[in-house]
Chain A
Amino acid sequence: MSKSSVIYDRFERHSHAEGLKGHATHYCPGCGHGLAHKFLAEAIDNLGIQDRTVAISPVGCSVFLYYYFDVGNSQAAHGRAPAVALGHKFANPESVVISYQGDGDLASIGLAETIATAQLGAPITVIFINNAIYGMTGGQMAPTTLMGQISTTSPSGRSQFNGQPMKMAEIIAGLDGPIYVERVALFDAKQRIKAKKAIQKAIQLQVEGRGYSFIEVLAECPTHLKMSPEDTEKWVKESMEPVYPLGVKKDLTVEPWFRRNPPSFDGEKILSLTGATSEHPIRHCQGFPTHLALHDISLKLAGSGGDGAQTAAMLIARSAINEGFDATHIPSYGPESRGGTSYADVHVAEEEVLNPGSPDPQVLIAFNAPSLAKFGPTVRKGGTVIYDCSVVSDAPDLDPSIKVFPVPFTGIATDLGKAVVKNIVALGALQAATQIFPKETMLTAIRVALKDKCALIPLNEEAFAWGIKSVEALGN
């Protein structure tokens, strides 16, 4: 076998190619990595994908994969190579991304990334070197260390207290994401031929956009197994192979599916997604509603999740901004996804909202009794309180300067056939009670919000009108 053209002619990155390092690997004599490298390089060569290949170097002995491979190289944090591989693959779907990892990297610290990436099934190729030991850190127990095997962190041999060896090929093959999983070895000529073929096939499947593949390579680490290279080969064959049976674990025929268009940079399309428009909204206000406050009006809307307090708050903010004012809305929820408390602080300012919180609002809209009881007393003197008298029977005593409007939000909405429009009833009541904005300003905001549900516009307009009428009927 000739040296593949994918292997650098000179290993400049290996200690600046000093001495013999320009042409010798950093691996110990007899190490399986060198063979796996050669087979991988040969496969890249055979498939003619050198320019498109991105090799992810892991942490472990093969951290220096990039010394040798004349391809795009990216060096990942310990265990994270599959995540880095996905980042490369999605950045350039035409690239061929190879995640080369050892057993500590893949089967211990990086298990979450390993499993999640395999299950995702995007076409990348994982080459997993299983030598049953930690090499670079100096012979500690790996997740793949055999029962009874001595390592520096299992000095009496791996026991039940250290758990059982991880059979990654079987685990990966058990997932739905991968399409091709095979375990190969390097200990004799026959196995080496199989290993070469498997590695090439795994990459081929990626090149064709068919899916994720995983090749586990049983490899020799004579140094940390404390054996001669020859004995290590024998050990892999006689001790490892029975625990890690060789062969194809999964081989699905999948039609090519991984095709991705180049990203769009169409400005019009982006603007339409955001809902931005060049149309000037029609303004109805003569000026800032200074009868409520000179520069900044503070409101609070409070109820339970589902009352629509947040939507109503948003509509007030939209109305203000359409009129050329500034506005803010801060939602605040309980931890519940539904049914908990739901408060909204809203500010409308002539020029800029300086302080968006509403600890002492001028206007309170309360959708239930607890909200009224909690926030009623915080309303500023001379302020306004509007509450749902369908659900609040006893209103608390508030400062006599506060104008109070009991309006049956729920009753009206139920009569209209849709309880969810009670927040729109409340907005109508707000308009009539405070004259914060002209009716048409708020109706426009409501119509714009419902532009994708036009059929609901008449019902909402009716709810808004009923809110106004209820306040007018109170006559205060």
Chain B
Amino acid sequence: MALKERPKPFLLPEYCKGCGRCLDACAKDCITLSDQINPLTGLVPVELDLTNCNACGLCMDACPEPYGLRPAHEGEIQDFELEDPAKLFGVKPCDAPAPVDLPSEVLPLPRTEPLVIKGTYASAIGAILAGCRHVYGYPITPSTEGAELMAKFLPKLDGTFLQAVSEVATVNMMYGTAGAGLPTMTFTSSPGFSLMLEGVSYMIGSELPGVFVNVMRGGPGLGNIAPEQSDIKLACHGLGHGNTQALVLAPSTPQEMLDLTMLAFELSFKYRNPVVILSDGYLGQMTGKVQLPEAMVKPGIPGWAVYGDAMHRRNLISSIFLTESDLEVHNIHLNAKYEAMKVEARAETFLCDDAEVVLIACNTPARTTKGAVQDLRHQGIKAGLFRPITLWPFPVEELQAAIHGADRIVVVEASAGQLEDEIRLALSKAGIRQFPELESVRRMGGVLPQQSEIMAQVLGKKEVRA
């Protein structure tokens, strides 16, 4: 059998940057630097004289450009004409098939008796029922029980729980799994969430789904591990750099920890955007009655994913748009998406129909406030509770309906007015200028507003703080 003839090199001067790395690779001195500037590129390509070439191929191995020195196949050199690169290299940029969307399935579950579990567990079980089998996390009080339950359950479901080296690594593992098109989540608490924000910005920029359960604790800095509504501002207006927004859900019972976690996955995939669940230290630890749903989700693989198979080879997960006009178009697209998310606004109203005093609260303070509303009603005061379930987008239409006819509004929160700022911003953006002066009951540092303080504010008494 005759030896296969080795091809000699050929070069399209336009694709040569003239680095000269091929020069000393050639034992026959066939390649020389030139001083002729190529008019198309402004670079100085090397010159080839293949008289002595023995087709050793080492020059091609030394060329850093994929379309630089290449093997000359029969015909190419003789008929060489550089007019249309497509003629030489083909027009198809990629022969990978068009990506396919493998839809998720909803599977029925038998009806069961309610569980008696804590909020973080309820959220973890919600995530599992939403089809999440990839959880990454870094231990941080008071959120850790969620990760612990995942570490226990997921291996039994052939899922993955990986304890990352930090919150920074956590969010980037989520980025990878979300990039592959699968549901993923983490449990964290305020300082940990701060650390994740870089990655959250990347996920939003790359349009990746993912669920962040932030069991908020007292801040700033290391603060403490007691409940505070410390991250409303961060979640609603500070998700890392750039024009970022995400749906922010605020549960107030262990049941809602499960329900809203399941909803978060659904919305996260619907909008290809992270969803933040803001819980608080009490709610994470609180045990209560939790009814499991009667259906669960088996996730598919979205058409946009980079799963690592032929069907998705064409795809790219990226947040870089080097050309300014491209990045502007991308930002316009993202903002249109944020605008579309506004239909997801949700709120609960309790006795607001005839309320003269509307109290506004979310998370655990909303429960305390609900207790206060009931006691105020017993005292003959027409009080009502407005509880935003989505903090972003803020349910401003529902709020407007709830405060219609109220002559007092009292905002109850475990922060220095972060919830109040959301209310003010939402009212302002909705063009609502006429509303009663906002009164407030605020505690910070891990102390929650007490029912007695709320009552005292409404009844106009001064209460000595506990």
Task: Given A83-B173, A92-B180, A278-B110, answer yes or no on A73-B89 (Cβ-Cβ < 8 Å).
Answer: no
The answer to whether B66 touches A87, judged by C-beta atoms less than 8 angstroms apart, is no
A317 contacts across to B, CB distance below 8 A = 116, 287-288
The answer to whether B285 touches A270, judged by C-beta atoms less than 8 angstroms apart, is no
Question: Smallest CB–CB gap between A101 and chain B, Å?
Answer: 13
* Nearest residue, chain A, Cβ from B385: A354
Interface positions of B from 302 to 326, Cβ below 8 Å from A: 306-310, 312-313, 315-320, 322-323
The answer to whether B173 touches A30, judged by C-beta atoms less than 8 angstroms apart, is no
The answer to whether A73 touches B318, judged by C-beta atoms less than 8 angstroms apart, is yes
Cβ-based interface call for B129 (8 A): yes
Cβ-based interface call for B3 (8 A): no
The answer to whether A73 touches B306, judged by C-beta atoms less than 8 angstroms apart, is yes
The answer to whether B315 touches A355, judged by C-beta atoms less than 8 angstroms apart, is no
A88 to B181, CA, bound (A): 9
Residue with the highest number of chain A CB atoms closer than 10 Å, among B67, B112, B182, B374: B67
Question: Smallest CB–CB gap between B365 and chain A, Å?
Answer: 10
Residues of B contacting A: mostly: mixed
Interface-side segment among B164-172, B333-341, B416-424, B430-438: B164-172
B25 contacts across to A, CB distance below 8 A = 188-189
The answer to whether A75 touches B14, judged by C-beta atoms less than 8 angstroms apart, is no
Task: Given A30-B21, A70-B94, A318-B116, answer yes or no on A87-B64 (Cβ-Cβ < 8 Å).
Answer: no
Task: Given A10-B89, A74-B317, A80-B172, answer yes or no on A355-B371 (Cβ-Cβ < 8 Å).
Answer: yes
The answer to whether B94 touches A9, judged by C-beta atoms less than 8 angstroms apart, is yes
A269 to B296, CA, bound (A): 12
Task: Given A52-B309, A73-B306, A188-B24, answer yes or no on A80-B320 (Cβ-Cβ < 8 Å).
Answer: no
Cβ-based interface call for B342 (8 A): no
* Nearest residue, chain A, Cβ from B287: A329
Cβ-based interface call for B260 (8 A): no
Interface-side segment among A16-24, A389-397, A418-426: A16-24
The answer to whether B20 touches A83, judged by C-beta atoms less than 8 angstroms apart, is no
Interface positions of A from 255 to 287, Cβ below 8 Å from B: 260-271, 273-281
Interface positions of A from 59 to 107, Cβ below 8 Å from B: 63, 66, 68, 70-77, 80, 83-92, 94-97
B136 contacts across to A, CB distance below 8 A = 87
Interface-side segment among A145-153, A226-234, A299-307, A464-472: A226-234
The answer to whether A92 touches B308, judged by C-beta atoms less than 8 angstroms apart, is yes
Question: Smallest CB–CB gap between B274 and chain A, Å?
Answer: 14
Task: Given A317-B287, A321-B114, answer yes or no on A91-B94 (Cβ-Cβ < 8 Å).
Answer: no
Cβ-based interface call for B75 (8 A): no
Question: Smallest CB–CB gap between A216 and chain B, Å?
Answer: 18
Cβ-based interface call for A222 (8 A): yes
Cβ-based interface call for A1 (8 A): yes
A83 contacts across to B, CB distance below 8 A = 164, 168-170, 172-173, 175-176
Task: Given A90-B177, A327-B288, A329-B288, answer yes or no on A264-B157 (Cβ-Cβ < 8 Å).
Answer: yes
Q: Please count how many residues in chain B sit with their CB below 8 Å of the partner chain's CB atoms.
A: 120
Residue interface mask A1-26, B partner, CB < 8 A = 1: 11110011111110101001011110
Question: Smallest CB–CB gap between B413 and chain A, Å?
Answer: 15
A353 to B17, CA, bound (A): 74
Task: Given A34-B64, A359-B452, answer yes or no on A80-B288 (Cβ-Cβ < 8 Å).
Answer: no
Partner of A279, one of B113, B162, B169, B292: B113
The answer to whether B19 touches A222, judged by C-beta atoms less than 8 angstroms apart, is yes
A314 to B371, CA, bound (A): 22
* Nearest residue, chain B, Cβ from A86: B173
B292 contacts across to A, CB distance below 8 A = 271, 274, 276
The answer to whether A63 touches B65, judged by C-beta atoms less than 8 angstroms apart, is no
The answer to whether B206 touches A87, judged by C-beta atoms less than 8 angstroms apart, is no
Residues of A contacting B: mostly: mixed
Task: Given A34-B65, A52-B309, A356-B364, answer yes or no on A278-B112 (Cβ-Cβ < 8 Å).
Answer: yes
Question: Smallest CB–CB gap between B387 and chain A, Å?
Answer: 12
The answer to whether A87 touches B158, judged by C-beta atoms less than 8 angstroms apart, is no
Interface-side segment among A35-43, A404-412, A436-444: A35-43
Partner of A20, one of B40, B94, B164: B40
Partner of B316, one of A50, A75, A113, A353: A75
Task: Given A54-B308, A72-B307, A85-B176, answer yes or no on A356-B282 (Cβ-Cβ < 8 Å).
Answer: yes
The answer to whether A270 touches B169, judged by C-beta atoms less than 8 angstroms apart, is no
B230 contacts across to A, CB distance below 8 A = none
* Nearest residue, chain A, Cβ from B129: A270
Cβ-based interface call for B459 (8 A): no
Partner of A116, one of B169, B175, B180, B451: B169
Cβ-based interface call for B102 (8 A): no
Cβ-based interface call for A213 (8 A): no
Question: Smallest CB–CB gap between B31 and chain A, Å?
Answer: 12
The answer to whether A66 touches B169, judged by C-beta atoms less than 8 angstroms apart, is no
Partner of A354, one of B21, B307, B315, B371: B371
The answer to whether A87 touches B178, judged by C-beta atoms less than 8 angstroms apart, is yes
A355 to B318, CA, bound (A): 46
The answer to whether A91 touches B134, judged by C-beta atoms less than 8 angstroms apart, is yes
Cβ-based interface call for A331 (8 A): yes
The answer to whether A88 touches B306, judged by C-beta atoms less than 8 angstroms apart, is yes
Task: Given A72-B312, A87-B174, A265-B296, answer yes or no on A24-B15 (Cβ-Cβ < 8 Å).
Answer: yes
* Nearest residue, chain A, Cβ from B12: A23
Cβ-based interface call for B271 (8 A): no
The answer to whether A77 touches B202, judged by C-beta atoms less than 8 angstroms apart, is yes
Task: Given A80-B168, A328-B287, A330-B282, answer yes or no on A269-B157 (Cβ-Cβ < 8 Å).
Answer: yes
Interface-side segment among B55-63, B214-222, B401-409: B55-63
Cβ-based interface call for A178 (8 A): no
Task: Given A24-B65, A189-B58, A355-B367, answer yes or no on A73-B316 (Cβ-Cβ < 8 Å).
Answer: yes
Cβ-based interface call for B92 (8 A): yes
Cβ-based interface call for A112 (8 A): yes
The answer to whether A91 touches B176, judged by C-beta atoms less than 8 angstroms apart, is yes
A197 to B108, CA, bound (A): 52
Task: Given A34-B65, A277-B112, A357-B368, answer yes or no on A233-B176 (Cβ-Cβ < 8 Å).
Answer: no
B306 contacts across to A, CB distance below 8 A = 54, 72-74, 88
Interface positions of A from 229 to 249, Cβ below 8 Å from B: 229-230, 233
The answer to whether B308 touches A77, judged by C-beta atoms less than 8 angstroms apart, is no
Cβ-based interface call for A192 (8 A): yes
Cβ-based interface call for B443 (8 A): no
* Nearest residue, chain B, Cβ from A326: B289
The answer to whether A354 touches B370, judged by C-beta atoms less than 8 angstroms apart, is yes
The answer to whether A23 touches B157, judged by C-beta atoms less than 8 angstroms apart, is no
Cβ-based interface call for B125 (8 A): yes
A97 contacts across to B, CB distance below 8 A = 308
Partner of B20, one of A7, A80, A91, A229: A229
B184 contacts across to A, CB distance below 8 A = 87, 91
The answer to whether B166 touches A30, judged by C-beta atoms less than 8 angstroms apart, is no
Cβ contacts A to B, 25 pairs, < 8 Å: A2-B71, A3-B70, A4-B66, A8-B94, A25-B66, A30-B64, A31-B19, A35-B62, A53-B308, A72-B313, A83-B172, A84-B179, A112-B169, A229-B21, A230-B20, A262-B158, A267-B107, A267-B110, A267-B296, A271-B110, A318-B116, A354-B371, A354-B374, A356-B364, A359-B466
Query: Which 10 residue pairs are nearest across A and B when measured between Cβ atoms?
Result: A87-B176, A95-B308, A34-B64, A355-B371, A91-B180, A30-B19, A83-B172, A116-B165, A29-B17, A29-B19
Instruction: Given contacts A33-B64, A84-B176, A267-B108, list 9 more A-B pairs with CB under 8 A.
Output: A24-B41, A27-B64, A50-B313, A74-B175, A87-B173, A90-B177, A113-B168, A271-B110, A353-B288
